[in-house]
Structure 1
């Protein structure tokens, strides 16, 4: 018998003796051998901060873990860019984050190159800070992952200087209420939604968004816009929603807004529009909001095709004279139903309360 066989036999004998295997309580040598061969499981619990970095390494930032094990990093309480850079220079167990949040922070003024170390993010939200500059390489490790970038209520005077084409997954950009005075020249092949509300552009140049071929939604509310160039959005073949509410527009020139995507929606509410030219917009298929403007008449050539196509038109808050220019609408209850029950004449009479027979008698 070789040495290994002797060792196994001895081990079996020890087990038999230990468990008192005699008579009915005996365990066969085969059972004992199987007991020897069972793996020993030792469970060591992972630290409760994993997969996040160790809390003291990132203080005052805070890392939270979502149900799918993705991580969010909130660095709203940093005191300087240098502190932020130091935190992200630490060694982390994992560098792939879902979200970066910095909000209500008066200390962060510049987001410098490499400040986020090796960390990558799918969403970056830096809102209501003193941020006035984002350097070229600030988000370099998020180029392959970044999908959403929100930079609202900061002090940026121009769009981030990095090349947006290097972010092939970026589909959402919001830079609302900053200090832009010129419409940014953006180039991105993936961007679908753009919010630039609250920046004082005054003027939207022709083909302003030609560098954004995938653009579907753009919002330019509260931008002090006084005029639109002809064909401002003519190059965006997927564009389905434009909101130009709360500006200083007085008219729409021919070819100003051309929508091509499904569910076309156009917002012109709270401007100073008194005239809309025929063919000034196209592609509106769902809703058009022109409340609170200076319209006195409803040109049948402009509005009838829209309503006949099933578009819902909101008109309240305009000083309509309610003469024969609206006869085509008042006598057609189907079309009238597509402007809602709120439009009124300058004197306060609701459109729905006007007597169609008056218009049939005086406007035929």
Structure 2
């Protein structure tokens, strides 16, 4: 007998209150051992053998609290999986068993997998993740049709398209026209090697997004011309450009966090943060930044510039922020500068001599010769740098 979802969950809650708390193991009909400590219990509907070995469905419970977290579907399709097999697996899902908190499609070359009404479009998902692993360059691009999220339009809140291959080419996947148009609840989007210039987001997505991440070879020159009033977090990972679009943050009035990690960026343009007045966390760790203008930043901003190439603290770029921190009540602005090759020459006289209290703002700052920035002698600087 196939149980409807709600009866299945009720039965599993009772099961968890007795057996999951103990240190025993449960065996499924397929003789697959389930470790009760994992808090994952295999779904009965669809039957496990109907979707195994490509997919695995489980009910998940929080390890600490026993709180029910929902149904999870994990699928792993390999190059030898044929369309008939894929469609047979997804034909097992219907209105009694197609609701999931998270669907994760992993690894596969996905040569024969199309995201459409016959696959993911049959499911109702709150969170969707796909990890694309494409090494055979002659394979067709991964395709997302307009119907890829057909049943999830009103509930899908998060989409993540990733690849474990850093050299995964940008033109090997794309959203089909209209794929994102009807997603009314999308607030988290994470995309690998995405060309925003040729495939901008529809207005509905621009309005709902709260968290946006771009990874890898991303084209963002037209990103400055769109407004995202509710975006709180913007993250760039492995961005290949040497600079950022000057007005990237111009239309993001609610931005709270900006992250730029392990990129090729060398220059943050003048005035880049002028309109990011609500942003209080800037994680600019592990890049090649040698020039940055902090003017316009919130006086309580936390700026992580560790592991960059900053060798000078130019007065015009840093002094406005330092003064804003010092002279604003309850401001606690901080700049982390560990592992930057600071020269500690005449360019820091404005800080060491004129605004010495501002030294506390720069944490972990060391000169290239090993001295801490706070230990630089102001008297010596006045003698050596009379014209500064």
Alignment-derived partner of residue 118 in structure 1: 122
Give the unaligned 5+ runs of structure 2.
1-10, 13-28, 30-40, 62-67, 135-140, 326-331
Greater CA radius of gyration, 1 or 2?
1
- Given that 2:43 and 2:58 are in contact with CA atoms closer than 8 Å, whether structure 1 keeps it comes out as no
Alignment-derived partner of residue 49 in structure 2: 56
- Given that 2:218 and 2:239 are in contact with CA atoms closer than 8 Å, whether structure 1 keeps it comes out as yes
Find the residue that maps to 1:70 and give its secondary structure.
Answer: strand
Find the residue that maps to 1:196 and give its secondary structure.
Answer: strand
Cα distance, 1:82–1:242 mapped onto 2, change above 3 Å: farther
C-alpha distance after superposition, 1:52-100 (max 9, x if no partner) = 3121222221111134372111112562454332222225433211111
C-alpha distance after superposition, 1:291-310 (max 9, x if no partner) = 34443321233223323423
**Structure 1: distance between partners of 2:69 and 2:196:** 41
Alignment-derived partner of residue 343 in structure 1: 365
Normalised by the length of structure 1, the TM-score is 0.74
Find the residue that maps to 1:229 and give its secondary structure.
Answer: coil
Q: Report which of the two has the higher share of strand.
A: 2
**How many positions carry a matched residue from both structures?**
315
- Given that 1:329 and 1:335 are in contact with CA atoms closer than 8 Å, whether structure 2 keeps it comes out as yes
Give the aligned CA root-mean-square deviation in angstroms.
3.2
C-alpha distance after superposition, 1:140-169 (max 9, x if no partner) = 111111111111107553542234241121
Cα distance, 1:284–1:244 mapped onto 2, change above 3 Å: farther
Q: Aligned ranges for residues 42-53 of structure 1 at < 5 Å?
A: 52-53=45-46
Find the residue that maps to 2:282 and give its secondary structure.
Answer: strand
**Structure 2: distance between partners of 1:106 and 1:117:** 20
1:87 aligns with 2:89: yes
Q: Structure 1 residues 99-108 or 252-261, which shifts more?
A: 252-261
- Given that 1:81 and 1:108 are in contact with CA atoms closer than 8 Å, whether structure 2 keeps it comes out as no
- Given that 2:269 and 2:293 are in contact with CA atoms closer than 8 Å, whether structure 1 keeps it comes out as yes
Normalised by the length of structure 2, the TM-score is 0.70
Alignment-derived partner of residue 210 in structure 1: 226
Task: Give 1:343 deviation, angstroms.
Answer: 1.9
Task: Give 1:123 deviation, angstroms.
Answer: 0.9
Alignment-derived partner of residue 224 in structure 1: 240
Alignment-derived partner of residue 96 in structure 1: 99
Task: Give 1:174 deviation, angstroms.
Answer: 1.1
Alignment-derived partner of residue 74 in structure 1: 74
Cα distance, 1:109–1:336 mapped onto 2, change above 3 Å: farther
**Structure 2: distance between partners of 1:212 and 1:165:** 16
1:106 aligns with 2:109: yes
Cα distance, 1:338–1:260 mapped onto 2, change above 3 Å: same
Alignment-derived partner of residue 21 in structure 2: none
**Structure 2: distance between partners of 1:264 and 1:361:** 37
- Given that 2:297 and 2:321 are in contact with CA atoms closer than 8 Å, whether structure 1 keeps it comes out as no
